């Protein structure tokens, strides 16, 4: 078994080619009316949770190794290039005719009834109005990947509770890798719980998981629950919820990537600490990582697009 490298993070799950659009109202905005608008594309880049974290970790000093299979479309090819451009190691990223590429249109606008800032999302794929995602198959691809992996990552991050990705989680966990599960959706409760079972750290939104009573049966995990503008809270080994207030920021531009920045900074903090298991974590070091992650997430919302904070330094 290869020695664990505390600077290496393996990632799999959901990637998308994000197109970020801002909507302006040159003739003014009237509540309740269908106001005329113009739209401007302000960003086109690899995104979604797994895609963002794969790009953010290198910026924070951590080696990221995303696992992805995109198609041969212009967007699919650019997604691999984007990952490489932001510093990810793309040895496990491929493009082929059988791959899957999801296109995600994110529009920043004003709510028709309130006038407040709002965002809408529409997912498609090249040549189709339906998104197309490609995950490792549990029956052959996932076992083959584990067999061929020549290093043991400090942490494995995944955001989709598909069988092949859970297989990676279970096998890597046996090797001593910390497993961080951040589901994009918990709508499929059975899949969600299966993901929880094979993970060490589980992060979820209070809006997506409204009933968190299931955590009462676990005393070997770290749960992190995001509370939107109210901050986050964590529960270590069933010892109770501890709240971390959000860090104020009066210059809010775009908050869509804040949760991904929180996860990336939290993971980077864990890598730096070298703590390889939940049983060795303490309330104090989890709180320190969560506070640092909250500060980074707060800074990120002053930039347009999820990776705007990185782009501003180039």
Domain ranges, ordered by start, for the chain: 4-10+47-99+135-311
Backbone angles phi, psi at 190, to 5 degrees: -60, -45
Q: What is the mean pLDDT of residues 286-295?
A: 96
Closest CA to 176 of 278, 46, 303, 270: 278
Residues 6+ apart with CB under 8 A from 99: 69, 70, 71, 72, 76, 134
Q: Could you say which architecture CATH assigns to the domain 4-10+47-99+135-311? A: 3-Layer(aba) Sandwich (3.40)
Question: What is the token pair recorded at 42?
Answer: 């302000």
Closest CA to 142 of 175, 172, 116: 172
Question: What is the token pair recorded at 26?
Answer: 């040159």
- Torsion-angle region of 231 (φ positive above 0: left; ψ -120 to 50: alpha; else: beta): left
* 162 — pLDDT class (breaks 50, 70, 90): very high
Higher pLDDT among residues 110 and 313, named by residue: 110
**Three-state helix/strand/coil letters over the chain:** CCCEEEEEEEEECCCEEEEEEEEECCCCCCCCCCCCCEEEEEEEEEEHHHHHHHHHHHHCCCEEEEEEEECCCHHHHHHHHHHHHCCCCCCCEEECCCCCCCEEEEEEEECCCCCCEEEEEEEEECCECCCCCCCCCCCCHHHHHHHHCCCEEEEEEECCCCHHHHHHHHHHHHCCCEEEECCCCCCCHHHHHHHHHCCCEEEEECCCCCCCHHHHHCCCCEEEEECHHHCEEEEECCCCEEEECCCCCCCCCCCCCHHHHHHHHHHHHHHHHCCCCHHHCCHHHHHHHHHHHHHHHHHHCCCCCCCHHHHCCC
pLDDT at 75: 97
Higher pLDDT among residues 263 and 305, named by residue: 263
pLDDT at 269: 96
Residues 6+ apart with CB under 8 A from 138: 162, 163, 164, 166, 167
Q: How many CA atoms lie within 13 A of 207 on its CB side?
A: 6
Using a 10 angstrom Cβ sphere, with 0-12 exposed, 13-18 middle and 19 or more buried, the burial of residue 114 is exposed
Q: What is the mean pLDDT of residues 67-89?
A: 97
pLDDT at 2: 59
Exposure string for 6-21, b = 16+ CB within 10 A, e = fewer? bebbbbbbbbbbbbbb
pLDDT at 240: 93
The structure's pTM equals 0.94
pLDDT at 303: 86
pLDDT at 138: 97
Question: What is the token pair recorded at 132?
Answer: 């197309």
Residue with tokens 């910390």: 178
- Could you give the CA distance from residue 188 to residue 172 in angstroms, rounded to a whole number? 24
pLDDT tens, position by position, 167-205: 999 999 999 999 999 998 888 899 999 999 999 999 999
Q: What is the mean pLDDT of residues 213-219?
A: 91
- Could you give the CA distance from residue 39 to residue 22 in angstroms, rounded to a whole number? 6
pLDDT tens, position by position, 261-275: 999 999 999 999 988
Mean pLDDT of all residues in the chain? 93
pLDDT at 1 over 80: no
pLDDT at 255 over 90: no
Q: How many residues does the chain have?
A: 314
pLDDT at 202: 97
Residue with tokens 């080619």: 17
């Amino acid at each position: 078994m290869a020695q664990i490298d505390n600077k290496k993070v393996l990632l799999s799950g959901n990637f998308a080619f994000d197109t970020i659009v801002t909507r302006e109202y040159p003739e003014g905005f009237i509540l309740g009316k269908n106001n005329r608008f113009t739209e401007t594309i302000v960003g086109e880049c690899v995104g979604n949770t797994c895609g963002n974290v794969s790009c953010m970790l290198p910026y924070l000093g951590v080696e990221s190794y995303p696992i992805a299979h995109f198609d041969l479309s212009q967007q699919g090819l650019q997604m691999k290039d984007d990952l490489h451009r932001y510093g990810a190691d793309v040895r496990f990223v491929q493009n082929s005719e059988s791959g899957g590429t999801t296109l995600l249109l994110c529009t920043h606008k004003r709510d028709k009834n309130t006038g407040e800032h709002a965002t809408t999302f529409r997912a498609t794929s090249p040549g189709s109005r339906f998104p197309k995602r490609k995950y490792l198959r549990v029956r052959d691809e996932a076992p083959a990947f584990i067999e061929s992996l020549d290093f043991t990552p400090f942490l494995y991050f995944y955001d989709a509770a598909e069988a092949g990705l859970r297989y990676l989680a279970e096998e890597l966990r046996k090797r001593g890798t910390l497993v961080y599960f951040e589901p994009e959706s918990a709508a499929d409760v059975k899949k969600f719980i299966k993901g929880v079972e094979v993970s060490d750290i589980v992060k979820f939104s209070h809006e997506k998981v409204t009933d968190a009573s299931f955590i009462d049966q676990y005393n070997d995990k770290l749960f992190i629950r995001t509370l939107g503008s109210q901050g986050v809270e964590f529960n270590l080994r069933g010892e109770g919820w501890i709240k971390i207030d959000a860090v104020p920021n009066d210059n809010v531009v775009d908050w869509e990537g804040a949760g991904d920045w929180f996860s990336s900074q939290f993971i980077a903090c864990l890598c730096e600490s070298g703590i390889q298991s939940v049983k060795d974590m303490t309330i104090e070091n989890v709180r320190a990582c969560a506070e640092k992650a909250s500060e980074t997430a707060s800074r990120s919302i002053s930039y347009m697009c999820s990776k705007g904070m990185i782009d501003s330094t180039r």
